[in-house]
Amino acid sequence: MSETSGDIRAVTVPKWGLAMEEGTLTAWLAGEGETIAKGQELAEIESTKIANVLESPAAGVLRRQVAQPGQVLPVGALLGVIAPAGVPDADIDAFVAGFVVDPPDEEGAEAGLAEGEAAGARGPIAYKAANPRAEAVPAILVHGFGGDSDNFMFNIEALAADRPVYAIDLPGHGRSAKTLGSGDMAELAGAILALMDAVEAPRAHLVGHSLGAAACFEVASQAPARVASLAGVAPAGLGPTVNDAYISGFLAAERRKDVKAALQMLFADPDLVSAAMIEGVLRALRLDGAREALSAIAAATLPGGSQARSYRAMLDATPIRTLVLWGERDAILPPEQGEGLPASVRLVRIPAVGHMPHMEAAALVNEQLAAHFAAG
Q: Where do contacts with another protein occur on this chain (CB under 8 A)?
A: 18-19, 24, 48, 70, 72, 107, 175, 178, 254-256, 274-276, 279, 283, 286-288
Contact 351, 263 (CB under 8 A): no
User: What is the distance between the alpha carbons of residues 109 and 115, in angstroms, rounded to a whole number?
Assistant: 11
Q: Name residue 169's beta-bridge partners.
A: none
3-state secondary structure of 242: coil
Smallest distance, another protein to C-beta of residue 178, A: 8
Handedness of CA 197, 199, 204, 208 (dihedral sign): negative
Cβ nearer to another protein, comparing 81 with 277? 277
Least distance from C-beta 254 to another protein, angstroms? 6
Tell me the backbone φ, ψ of residue 18, rounded to 5 degrees.
-60, -35
Residue 167, strand partner residues:
128, 141
CB 291 to another protein: min, Å: 11
Using a 10 angstrom Cβ sphere, with 0-12 exposed, 13-18 middle and 19 or more buried, the burial of residue 116 is middle
Nearer to another protein, 38 or 286 (CB): 286
Of residues 149 and 322, the one with the C-beta less far from another protein: 149
CB of 375 to another protein, least distance (A): 36
Smaller CB separation from another protein, 115 or 162: 115
CB-nearer residue toward another protein: 287 or 348: 287
**Residue by residue, what is the 3-state secondary structure of 7-55?**
CEEEEECCCCCCCCCEEEEEEECCCCCCEECCCCEEEEEECCCCEEEEE
For residue 2, the one-letter residue type is S
Closest to another protein by CB, 24 vs 222, is: 24
- Residue 122 CB, nearest approach to another protein (Å): 15
Which lies closer to another protein via its Cβ, residue 175 or residue 203?
Answer: 175
**Considering the complex, what minimum distance in angstroms separates the CB of residue 279 from another protein?**
7
Residue 142 DSSP SS3: strand
Closest distance of CB 14 from another protein, Å: 19
d(CA 56, CA 241): 38
